[in-house]
Structure 1
Amino acid sequence: MRRLELCAAAVVALILTANAPAMAQERCRLASAEPGAHLTGLDRHGYPLTANGTAMRLVDLRVADIVAADALIARARPAYRVLAESQPDRWGRLPVQAILDDGRPLAEVLIDAGLATVDPGTGAMLCAPELLEREARARAQQRGIWADEDNRPLSARDTDRLAAREGEHVLVEGRVVSVGERARATYLDFSRRWRGGFTVIIPEEIWRDLLERGIDADYLSDRRIRVRGVMLDWRGPAIELAIAAFIENLETGSSP
């Protein structure tokens, strides 16, 4: 069974990992490193601490096990670099990427250990979409937080459990029953019930991005996918897609 899980994780096809736009690559460019710039730990909310007290956030991930991740960072004291083209978020936090002394990105280490999940936060894209595959492997092997069943992906059909997670960042898996394209948003429904079933809301600009890559209503209809985001109460449990890469194809066929 474990071999099957690992194989399934290995063949997860990410819809939007290839051919990243040049603009996205530019926005993920790192500024020059400052001498002595390193992280010293995490605060109680999972945000990085530095010797000079600069407010920061880690790019591409949400720390889930703050105690274990803080101990790792305090021990390793990884160097960090700020994204060159990014501005502080509304809380004044600068987006940073950190590297351990052995050259490994801190994001990969935390994801591999099951101490963090993939999440761009207030960013509009992932700088390292391959982290989704690493997270899938950690989840299949039940490392870190994935050993707890409550942290694993929820079924799109289990609406009671979904509703109980309102306000939380969750992963949901299921088969798309219908796709409704509207002027300001597109809706992926996972039930034939108009009210009460799980829905993914895709804002207009993200839907445009998907269409440009050949991912349309026909492609998504009747396809098993995984999505992630904050659970909302709309006409039932719902997630509003934050970035296009947060639709993952769970089919074994080829991706566009």
Structure 2
Amino acid sequence: MWRLELCAAAAFALILTATAPAMAQERCRLASAEPGAYLTGLDRHGNPLTADDTAMRLIDLRVSDIAAAETLIARERPAFRRLADAQPDRWGRLPVQALLDDGRPLAHVLIDAGLARVDPGPGSDLCDPALLVREARARAARRGIWAEPANRPLSAHDPDALAARAGENVIVEGRVVSVGERARATYLDFSRRWRGGFTVIIPEEIWRDLLERGIDADYLSGRRIRVRGVMLDWRGPAIELAIAAFIEDLETGPSP
């Protein structure tokens, strides 16, 4: 089953990548490499450290096993490149991509090993949506953080277990029962109960983004998907979708 879901998620990631707005692709353009621009380690929050103490963050991911990731960075000393047109975030951090000597992105290595999870950070979209597929493979193989049951996906049809994780960043999987399009948001419900069931709240601008990529109510209704985000207490457990890429299709064909 998980092999089929990986194939479906991979195909969906390709759709998202191929249909990503030109503006997003431009936003992810890298600046020219700078001499001596290497990472030296990580701080206690998982942010990269450099020789000149410039505040930075790694794009597309959040380091989960800081000790193991720091050991890898200290050994490999990956070079980094800033995003060409990016401004510092609210914490003054510049977004960067790091590369190993053999050309592999550090993000690939950390995600593949289960040392980090996909997370573009507040107000950002993914530069590399295919990282979601790499993360799914690491999770299926129980690598790194994914060996811990608490980090694995939760069932969208177990509202009590979901409610117990309120305030946490989680991954949830399940079949969409209904889709409600409203003026300011679209709601994916995973239960026929008005209150108490799990709901995914999709803000208007993200719903427009999905529609532009060919993902509409008919496509999602009855489909098994994976979502991620902070668990809220709304009219039951809920996640407000942060970016379009945080909906992953877990099916290979039309829903039965």
Tell me the TM-score normalized by structure 1: 0.94
Task: Decide whether the 8 Å contact of 1:10 with 1:137 is kept in 2.
Answer: no
SS of corresponding position for 1:166: coil
2:118 maps to 1:118: yes
Aligned partners of 1:25, 1:165: CA distance in 2, in Å? 34
SS of corresponding position for 2:16: coil
TM-aligned CA deviation for residue 41 of structure 1: 0.9
Correspondence for 1:210: 210
TM-aligned CA deviation for residue 7 of structure 1: 5.0
Moved more, 169-178 or 10-19: 10-19
Q: Could you say what the CA RMSD is over the residues aligned between the two structures, in angstroms?
A: 1.5
Q: Residues 121-162 of structure 1, C-alpha deviation per residue, up to 9 Å, x if partnerless?
A: 124311011111111111111111111111111000111221
Change (3 A) 1:6 1:142: farther
Task: Decide whether the 8 Å contact of 1:9 with 1:140 is kept in 2.
Answer: no
2:60 maps to 1:60: yes
Task: Decide whether the 8 Å contact of 2:117 with 2:135 is kept in 1.
Answer: yes
Q: Which amino acid aligns with 2:232?
A: L
TM-aligned CA deviation for residue 216 of structure 1: 1.1
Aligned partners of 1:9, 1:213: CA distance in 2, in Å? 20
Aligned partners of 2:123, 2:107: CA distance in 1, in Å? 16
Correspondence for 1:37: 37
Aligned partners of 1:89, 1:111: CA distance in 2, in Å? 23
Aligned partners of 2:169, 2:74: CA distance in 1, in Å? 26
Correspondence for 1:85: 85
Correspondence for 2:197: 197
Give runs of aligned pairs for residues 1-256 of structure 1, distance below 5 A: 5-6=2-3, 8-12=5-9, 13-14=11-12, 16-253=16-253
User: How many positions carry a matched residue from both structures?
Assistant: 252
SS of corresponding position for 1:173: strand
TM-aligned CA deviation for residue 231 of structure 1: 1.1
Runs of 4+ in structure 1 displaced over 3 angstroms?
A: 4-8
Q: Which amino acid aligns with 1:210?
A: L
Aligned partners of 1:210, 1:16: CA distance in 2, in Å? 9
Task: Decide whether the 8 Å contact of 2:49 with 2:55 is kept in 1.
Answer: yes
Structure 1: gaps spanning 5 or more residues = none
Task: Decide whether the 8 Å contact of 2:6 with 2:250 is kept in 1.
Answer: no
Task: Decide whether the 8 Å contact of 1:6 with 1:141 is kept in 2.
Answer: no
Task: Decide whether the 8 Å contact of 1:120 with 1:126 is kept in 2.
Answer: yes
SS of corresponding position for 1:138: helix
Structure 2: gaps spanning 5 or more residues = none
Q: Residues 74-116 of structure 1, C-alpha deviation per residue, up to 9 Å, x if partnerless?
A: 1111110111111111010110000011111000000000111
Change (3 A) 1:223 1:116: same
Identity %: 81
TM-aligned CA deviation for residue 214 of structure 1: 2.0
